[in-house]
Structure 1
Amino acid sequence: MTAHVRQGEAFAAAKPPLHRHLAVDTVSGRVARWTAESAVSSRCVHAGVAACPA
């Protein structure tokens, strides 16, 4: 197993499965964009907030 695969598995394990999204190009079928959200704060005031990099 390569380090890249191990890092990918660790990344995936740290993300809730229902908060992973793909945008697929309908012509090529390739992934155009993706997001995988994770908890960044334990404060309840931030519940339901997702930060999205530009």
Structure 2
Amino acid sequence: MDPLIAKKANGDKLSSEGKCKNTKLSVQGIPIVTYFYLLLGGCDIVLGIFWLQTLGPIV
């Protein structure tokens, strides 16, 4: 797997070669099963387009 490169708001870049598949979490009572890339750099979790797509069409 190629490493994922993520850019932080301050311009710094983080790379990840790890991925957690079928991760379960609940956001305000809404159950979500998705995957997460492992990033080291001060964030507890970053929710992006991947989990947002599980909620339905993005318009």
- TM-score w.r.t. length of structure 1: 0.31
Larger radius of gyration: 1
Structure having the larger proportion of residues in strand:
2
Q: Looking at secondary structure, tell me which structure has more helix per residue.
A: 1
TM-score by length of 2: 0.29
